[in-house]
Structure 1
Amino acid sequence: MALFYMHGVPIGAVAILLALVASMGGFIFGYDTGQISDILLMADFRRRFATCSNPADVDTCQFSVVRAGLIVSLLSIGTLVGALLGAPTADYLGRRYAMVAECGLFIVGVIIQITSTGVWQQFAVGRWVSGLAVGALSAAVPMYQAETAPSRIRGTLTATYQLFITFGILVAYCISIGTRYLPGAGSWRTVVGIGIIWPFVMATGILFMPESPRWLASRGRIDEARDSLARSHGIPTSEEHTSEFLNTRVEDIRSNVEYERQLRAGWVDCFRPQNKILYRTLLGMALQSFQQLTGANYFFYYGATTFKSVGIADSFITQIILGAVNFVCTFGGLYVMQRFGRRNPLIIGGIWQACWLFVFAAAGTAKVPQDHPNIGKLMIVSACLFILGYAMTWAPGVWILVGETFPTRTRAKQSALSAAANWLWNFLLAFFTPFISNAIAYRYGFVFAACNLAGAVVVYFFLYESSDLSLESVDLMYNDPNCKPWNSRRWAPPGYASRYDLVQQTQAAEAHKPLAGPPEERRIEKAGESSVGSSKTATV
């Protein structure tokens, strides 16, 4: 049975569960991201893997910028490769089994790390292997959520991926502060080893979730696609073949798959200008790049080291504060992206983040933080307010857009390319941040502030508003020559007075009722009369 109804559309409990289970992929990434900042400061880890002038005195053990950069950033190199492999894997094995395989690969990477004894290269390679899995999951999870979740709550459910990333970061901080005084290698091996739990939970749980109906339909498994839709919408098995709502959904997906089967898509197709495919590929890659260039991972990767340098007595506590702000504010991000769409939050968020990064950089540059405690406090407050804006806008928003901007036939590959752009910049920032910080110190914040403003400009001039529309309707909007990014919120197919009119009619259709009132007392077309290319049918 349906868990609840939204505008007459049934929403099943399975829809919520599949989003939560799949989002464990984000938790895995967040946990792996959050742990390394604190591990680099742990005494036993430094004694084993850093360069020590006197091994008996851990204070003489320091990481060179190259070694620290490689240990942190090899995860990102793995994610870059994994993201590109994630698309063909998800297409070949199906979304669920691909995620199961990737969870197994992550566990292999963790085992390589915790068996390291004194060779830092082994630990770094373990992070690279885990990164392969994280990258592949970053391509598969948002795609699976967007294709399987009911469109009424697609934005919120897809954004849970980012929510779980922040939760993973916070959990890693909390576990690290609890293990840092354990004797010997237990301090860091416990943190890393616990990472085995999360992929095991995900791999087990995802097997009980329905497969993507669009993937099933592309394999000719229409009955299974119908069953998948029924489960996510909470429609009983006995009503699967009599539900007009379900029949409409299945027919839309089947028609779309049949159309796109005639247009086989390879990697080259992602760069063809027809139907704004190239436009959207470059847009997705740009948005993912700017998400990294916001500067958030500057705090997540090197936050403990950064705040130790500004005179904070216990930088581990500061990391937990930042992680908590990031996690809690992401709940606000779920509401913001569902209520206010995609464009405006990203534009406002970019400006907000730039302002606080400017304060952070200016404060650290004007005075020596170690000599002025109030300056250090101002920098922490600025970082928290930056994280607040990031968690509510750019963090969840970009992952939502990756899931809903691309057409079905190239979605997997375009999602992979976008994720690869994210991981490329992730690597570049992780590796070069120690060098840059040593050279320009806190003026690094000015660079990120400029990048945030540039991201806001890109969104204004190039991103179309895709909230409230089905994946098929988004494709129609991008190909409408009369629609421009800055007026896309008002876009509606020919024959509709406005997007509000479109949404109202679609809601009535999904509730199986005629729409009363203007314009011209139109009645909703029956399921069999709709088609993918129709300019008058757009399922929200």
Structure 2
Amino acid sequence: MATGEAAAAPLLSSSGEKPRRRNMYAFGCATLASMTTVLMGYNLAVMSGAQLFIREDLGLSDAEIEVLTGSMNVFMLASILAAGWTADVLGRRGTIVLANAFLVAGALAMSLGGSYAALMAARFVTSIGVGFARVVAPVYNAEISPASTRGVLTSLLDMFVNVGILLSYVSNYAFAGLPVHLGWRVMFGVGAAPPVLLAAGVLAMPESPRWLAMRGRHADARAVLVRTSDSAAEAELRLEEIKRAVAAPHDGSGGVWRELIIRPTAMVRRILACVIGLQFFQQASGIDAIVLYSPLVFKKVGMASNAAVLGATIAVGVVKTCFILVATLFSDRLGRRPLLLASTGGMAVTLTSLALTLCCVASSSPSPPTASAAACVASVMAFVAAFSVGLGPTTATYTSEIMPLRLRAQGASLGIAVNRLACGAVTMTFISLADGITMAGCFFLYAGVAAVACVFVYVWLPETRGRSLEDMDALFSK
């Protein structure tokens, strides 16, 4: 399927007003919504270091650690699939507040857990909040943003996820010196306070104008659009497009899920293929194997002390977070496709480099050369940099902006459910798979997936930069 369609001209006002390219109100709203994902990233990644101490404190086996680490991705499927319905009933803002409540409860439960069963139950509670945040935050950001800055504002989501990941690495390092039975509990406990403040901030931001229009509250929708558009004329144009999208005839006899899955149109099938494919490849290419198991990878190449291993993970987290700025700065300038192509191609190369480094270590066992550790850390840094310039932040941007309004929340839920299943498959099998095909074999496998992802982007994904959300139907109907 050809994908070389040129992006449509950005949405412009007819009044000749100079667009307010730096719309600080829209930026503030998107920032508040995105900050919920700081706790998502923190709760997912804090296990990377905490597992070293939980294993010793509670005497857990490798299999139990593997399941505890990756189970959250499976647990959150329930809240992911329910998030679309919840967001349509409670609103985008109300669902984000609900997500923060579950994140607080989950963090406290993890810090107080005294057994494997208690920790699994706590991870389940946390997963509900993470699932809601993972679906609704990108939908809200896409719906609140003007077309000219939608790439920047929706990229904030992944930036804050990575801020959370980086903070979890810092927390792992900072509390590693505490007694074993206390350190990992503090690592989880410090994640309980921020969601309370975030929930209060979210209540101060406006509801999505598209959700308001779906409820017939056109005056409220107009008021939000005037504050979040590049010009007053654009606000009116956006409102009229939203009204037309809400009023557009469609086969609603079986509900949204019937329209998505059972009897989708050709256009919806194409959009779903793009959404599901992109969400799948983002996780199947192994990013969370690095995020959650980098301490094991670094130990494999001869880094013996926990301090050195956790210090290296902080360096990886800094690189991962910094390179998201590239996607944030260039998503609306270069477009989504160039960043995705560069990212997936770079991931394939760097994963191959990491696998070759591990092969060299295996051949020189039991005393790997010092240079192997440096090469391994460099390869991991290069991989997370390649991931962060495209596939990481742009996946949420692309999948949230191409779904039709009436299907957006549930469509996002479906794509993210696939994302989490792929992530769960990676994180819950990494240790076992490494035992079976070696750790180098794992990364060769992920490199192959990244190469296929590059081909997928080139063949299937059209450019969306500068188009209004309501114009995506026309793009995918070609």
TM-score by length of 2: 0.91
Shift of 1:279: 2.0
Instruction: Please name the residue that 2:386 is paired with.
Output: 389
Conservation of the 8 A alpha-carbon contact between 1:285 and 1:418: yes
1:10 and 1:247 map into 2 onto residues whose CA distance is 17
2:217 and 2:442 map into 1 onto residues whose CA distance is 53
Match of 2:141 among 139, 145, 150: 145
Instruction: Please name the residue that 2:52 is paired with.
Output: 41
Match of 2:208 among 188, 212, 219: 212
Conservation of the 8 A alpha-carbon contact between 1:30 and 1:165: yes
Match of 2:248 among 238, 250, 259: 259
Amino acid of the structure 2 residue aligned with 1:113: M
Conservation of the 8 A alpha-carbon contact between 1:12 and 1:233: yes
**Structure 1 residues 362 and 234: alpha-carbon distance in aligned structure 2, compared to 1, 3 A threshold:** closer
Amino acid of the structure 2 residue aligned with 1:135: G
2:82 and 2:448 map into 1 onto residues whose CA distance is 32
Instruction: Please name the residue that 2:294 is paired with.
Output: 303
Amino acid of the structure 2 residue aligned with 1:447: L
1:338 and 1:205 map into 2 onto residues whose CA distance is 27
SS in 2 for 1:123: helix
Conservation of the 8 A alpha-carbon contact between 1:309 and 1:370: no
More helix by share: 2
Instruction: Please name the residue that 2:126 is paired with.
Output: 130
Correspondence 1:218-233 to 2 at 5 A: 218-233=214-229
Conservation of the 8 A alpha-carbon contact between 2:258 and 2:264: no
Instruction: Please name the residue that 1:340 is paired with.
Output: 334
Shift of 1:270: 0.8
Instruction: Please name the residue that 2:167 is paired with.
Output: 171
Conservation of the 8 A alpha-carbon contact between 2:280 and 2:418: yes
1:245 and 1:303 map into 2 onto residues whose CA distance is 47
**Is 1:361 aligned with 2:374?**
no
1:177 and 1:417 map into 2 onto residues whose CA distance is 36
Structure 1 unmatched ranges of 5 or more: 51-62, 236-242, 481-540
**Is 1:86 aligned with 2:97?**
no
Correspondence 1:446-465 to 2 at 5 A: 446-465=444-463
Amino acid of the structure 1 residue aligned with 2:245: N
Conservation of the 8 A alpha-carbon contact between 1:105 and 1:133: yes
1:424 and 1:337 map into 2 onto residues whose CA distance is 27
**Is 1:30 aligned with 2:20?**
no
Shift of 1:370: 4.3
Amino acid of the structure 2 residue aligned with 1:380: V
2:234 and 2:422 map into 1 onto residues whose CA distance is 43
Amino acid of the structure 1 residue aligned with 2:350: W
Shift of 1:308: 1.6
**1:129-183: CA deviations, max 9, x gaps?**
1112111211101001001112210111001000001111111111211111123
Instruction: Please name the residue that 1:101 is paired with.
Output: 98
Ranges of 4+ aligned residues in structure 1 off by more than 6 Å: none
Shift of 1:335: 1.9
SS in 2 for 1:476: helix
Conservation of the 8 A alpha-carbon contact between 1:34 and 1:172: yes
**Is 1:292 aligned with 2:283?**
yes
**1:213-267: CA deviations, max 9, x gaps?**
01001101111111111232488xxxxxxx4443322222222212258746421
**Structure 1 residues 348 and 262: alpha-carbon distance in aligned structure 2, compared to 1, 3 A threshold:** same
Instruction: Please name the residue that 1:434 is paired with.
Output: 431
- Structure label with greater radius of gyration: 1
**Structure 1 residues 13 and 344: alpha-carbon distance in aligned structure 2, compared to 1, 3 A threshold:** closer
Amino acid of the structure 1 residue aligned with 2:445: V
1:185 and 1:18 map into 2 onto residues whose CA distance is 40
Instruction: Please name the residue that 1:203 is paired with.
Output: 199
Amino acid of the structure 2 residue aligned with 1:277: V
1:260 and 1:401 map into 2 onto residues whose CA distance is 25
1:244 and 1:34 map into 2 onto residues whose CA distance is 44
Instruction: Please name the residue that 2:272 is paired with.
Output: 281
**Is 1:423 aligned with 2:414?**
no
**1:75-131: CA deviations, max 9, x gaps?**
1112222211110000010000011112112222222212212x1121122112111
**Structure 1 residues 402 and 260: alpha-carbon distance in aligned structure 2, compared to 1, 3 A threshold:** farther
Match of 1:402 among 399, 402, 419: 399
Shift of 1:7: 5.0
1:366 and 1:164 map into 2 onto residues whose CA distance is 36
Shift of 1:454: 0.4
Instruction: Please name the residue that 2:177 is paired with.
Output: 181
Amino acid of the structure 1 residue aligned with 2:280: S
2:422 and 2:117 map into 1 onto residues whose CA distance is 22
Amino acid of the structure 1 residue aligned with 2:48: S
Conservation of the 8 A alpha-carbon contact between 1:110 and 1:126: yes
